[in-house]
Chains A and B, each alone.
Chain A
């Protein structure tokens, strides 16, 4: 009797002989989704496949909101989510440290005036979202407290003072999905648009409109692999049996509708203001990655397609200015960084610090500053011309990078192992140059 490994071998061997992989390549080459299109320069040779791309990584982990409106006449669009109407102070974050490995003061009890639920012992971050440099939400595993819940469950920690104090708030009464499980329901990520409206997703979608006191499931007709928020709208990449589509809803309601102009999309979702960026998908497939970068300047009503810097391979994008778009894309065994200064119509040549794995993380702080890396972070301050190593030495690998503005950012890093419980939250206040450990309760 053939065992599992033999059956896998036999089936893949048969698929090889049937040419299943060749048919897919042909489809990928033919698929061009939506949009008006622009002049297409000769495409560079695809070097590798996109499954292991870092595309889903950063955008899928966090939605960070651009605030700091007052400090710049034109708010810098670096966030993956966030209503432009939210204003915050520019008070320096409470996190202080004298070194890259320093820590903030120990978390105290809940902020006066706010009522929270008990915070679980030994919290560690599995998802993070922010609407300003001071107001964050951190998702952490927690004991199940409601009848019918299937472990593991989650709880959300909220801070409004940059990590000095946290309160606990309810998470959806559903399973906190996490590796190595293969869930059909539950959630793994959180996003908040403001103090009232938030979402939990992956693969199911849940919403709260009262700051987390009550959550309810939302049926969007498929599984949600990515979600980002901007200008009062939530955008989600929804996989269905017929493909993957982009949907949106006002953050304060659950009125989800498809954005058909985006066509089949994959996972490279980035939003800011009314700009929506997403990578095209392969028609008829749930998660195939296409050749184009789709850009909308009207909240997703219409899209223009431009050649992705690494066609057919997964990219993540960051628009730091309407004209400036960073891209971090898989290239093969490795990945690279590209920069467009004409709104995505064209990208410069591949750059980066060299020898980046596909799964490297990337986050742009400004038109010239970005951080990329996996086990070692590298920072550029000159638009990608040069990179220098940054980050605490005790972090063995990173699982998230994101900036709320040109100077403030968050990173999740593994210390001492790669289990979820080894994840630590780091904060940067100097554009990714140094990182300070933020202890959770």
Chain B
């Protein structure tokens, strides 16, 4: 278990990723814990298999480590970026017929055995991630809720969402940005970054 720095827990995703790129292990741990529930929620939902979800989650965060220096902030949390990586890993696994492990291989990540006892915690964390995310999304104003759900959870292209809503991409981006900012603020208020 990595000891977290309280200070880093207040950092933005961008700041954490910059620190990760600069070899700050504690920053990685904070980022991992911040996003692991959402990643597991997404992967468990998509795979309906906790072991596969756990395996893919490790790959997702290995990819995060490799990509940290190239993170391009879009005025919002890194959640869509991380979920985007998760979706890509999922699809690559599907298409290649095996769970992606490329990022872990590149890093020299040693295989970690998954025990039966781990599965409950994975499910709990996934439930927490799903529940927390869903609850936060549900609290958003309707226009932001739809935009965040479409973009972040369903990862639909902005242009597609804009077409559906008959508005400009810029409007959708603003709604997503505002929605995510509102969600982050709420997370801070509740002390669960």
Interchain CA distance A142-B163 in the complex, whole Å: 41
With contact pairs A5-B54, A21-B68, A358-B84 given, residues A57 and B95 touching in the complex (Cβ less than 8 Å): yes
Interface string of B69-85 (1 = CB under 8 A from A): 11110100000110011
The answer, yes or no, to whether A85 is at the interface (CB within 8 Å) is no
Partner of A332, one of B33, B72, B155: B72
Q: Is the CB of A180 within 8 A of B52?
A: yes
Of the listed residues A9, A60, A356, the one surrounded by the most CB atoms of chain B closer than 10 A to its CB is A9
Known pairs A11-B110, A183-B97, A189-B97; list 12 more (Cβ under 8 Å).
A5-B121, A8-B58, A13-B32, A15-B107, A16-B25, A17-B25, A57-B95, A177-B97, A333-B80, A353-B159, A376-B157, A420-B94
Q: Is the CB of A20 within 8 A of B108?
A: yes
Q: Which listed segment binds A: B7-15, B112-120, B131-139, B179-187?
A: B112-120
Interface string of A182-195 (1 = CB under 8 A from B): 11001011000000
Contacts of B74 in A (CB 8 A): 333
With contact pairs A12-B28, A14-B25, A288-B106 given, residues A7 and B98 touching in the complex (Cβ less than 8 Å): no
Shortest B169–chain A CB gap in Å is 7
The answer, yes or no, to whether B188 is at the interface (CB within 8 Å) is no
Q: Which listed segment binds B: A46-54, A209-217, A316-324?
A: A46-54
Partner of A399, one of B20, B89, B95: B95
Contacts of B121 in A (CB 8 A): 3, 5
Shortest B188–chain A CB gap in Å is 22
Cross-chain pairs A/B with CB under 8 angstroms, 8 sampled = A16-B27, A16-B28, A56-B92, A179-B99, A203-B98, A355-B158, A355-B169, A375-B154
Contacts of B47 in A (CB 8 A): 180
Question: Which residue from chain A places its CB closest to the CB of B99 in the assembled complex?
Answer: A182
Contacts of B105 in A (CB 8 A): 285-287
Partner of B92, one of A20, A186, A356, A359: A359
The answer, yes or no, to whether B62 is at the interface (CB within 8 Å) is yes
With contact pairs A51-B63, A375-B157 given, residues A24 and B106 touching in the complex (Cβ less than 8 Å): yes
Q: Is the CB of A183 within 8 A of B84?
A: no
Of the listed residues A53, A57, A420, the one surrounded by the most CB atoms of chain B closer than 10 A to its CB is A57
With contact pairs A7-B112, A25-B69, A356-B157 given, residues A52 and B21 touching in the complex (Cβ less than 8 Å): no
Q: Is the CB of B1 within 8 A of A49?
A: no
Contacts of B125 in A (CB 8 A): 5
The answer, yes or no, to whether B142 is at the interface (CB within 8 Å) is no
Question: Which residue from chain B places its CB closest to the CB of A287 in the assembled complex?
Answer: B102
* Residues 332-348 (chain A) with a chain B CB within 8 angstroms: 332-333
Contacts of B107 in A (CB 8 A): 12, 15, 20-21, 24
Q: Is the CB of B157 within 8 A of A180?
A: no
The answer, yes or no, to whether A178 is at the interface (CB within 8 Å) is yes
The answer, yes or no, to whether A73 is at the interface (CB within 8 Å) is no
With contact pairs A4-B54, A21-B68 given, residues A16 and B118 touching in the complex (Cβ less than 8 Å): no
Q: Is the CB of A4 within 8 A of B70?
A: no
Q: A-B contact count, CB below 8 Å?
A: 211
Interchain CA distance A7-B21 in the complex, whole Å: 21
A residues contacting B by CB (< 8 A) are 2-22, 24-25, 46-49, 51-53, 56-57, 60-61, 177-183, 186, 188-189, 202-203, 225, 285-288, 332-333, 353-359, 374-376, 389, 399, 418, 420
Interchain CA distance A441-B117 in the complex, whole Å: 43
The answer, yes or no, to whether B174 is at the interface (CB within 8 Å) is no
The answer, yes or no, to whether B128 is at the interface (CB within 8 Å) is no
Q: Is the CB of B98 within 8 A of A181?
A: yes
Q: Is the CB of B65 within 8 A of A16?
A: yes
Contacts of B158 in A (CB 8 A): 354-355
With contact pairs A12-B28, A14-B25 given, residues A399 and B57 touching in the complex (Cβ less than 8 Å): no
With contact pairs A13-B29, A359-B91 given, residues A52 and B2 touching in the complex (Cβ less than 8 Å): no
Question: Which residue from chain A places its CB closest to the CB of B89 in the assembled complex?
Answer: A52
Partner of B117, one of A3, A17, A49: A3
Q: Is the CB of A179 within 8 A of B88?
A: no
Shortest A286–chain B CB gap in Å is 6
The answer, yes or no, to whether B153 is at the interface (CB within 8 Å) is no
Q: Is the CB of B169 within 8 A of A358?
A: no
Q: Is the CB of A418 within 8 A of B96?
A: no
Interchain CA distance A47-B108 in the complex, whole Å: 23
Q: Is the CB of B23 within 8 A of A5?
A: no
Contacts of A375 in B (CB 8 A): 154-157, 160
The answer, yes or no, to whether B144 is at the interface (CB within 8 Å) is no
Q: Is the CB of A357 within 8 A of B95?
A: no
With contact pairs A9-B2, A10-B2 given, residues A357 and B72 touching in the complex (Cβ less than 8 Å): no
Q: Is the CB of A52 within 8 A of B157?
A: no
Partner of B106, one of A186, A225, A285: A285
The answer, yes or no, to whether B175 is at the interface (CB within 8 Å) is no
Interchain CA distance A46-B156 in the complex, whole Å: 23
Contacts of A355 in B (CB 8 A): 157-160, 169
Q: Is the CB of B29 within 8 A of A15?
A: no
Contacts of B26 in A (CB 8 A): 13
Contacts of B92 in A (CB 8 A): 51-52, 56-57, 359
Question: Which residue from chain A places its CB closest to the CB of B95 in the assembled complex?
Answer: A57
Contacts of B81 in A (CB 8 A): 333
Of the listed residues A19, A20, A225, the one surrounded by the most CB atoms of chain B closer than 10 A to its CB is A20
Partner of A49, one of B54, B63, B87, B157: B63
Interface string of B158-174 (1 = CB under 8 A from A): 11100100000100000
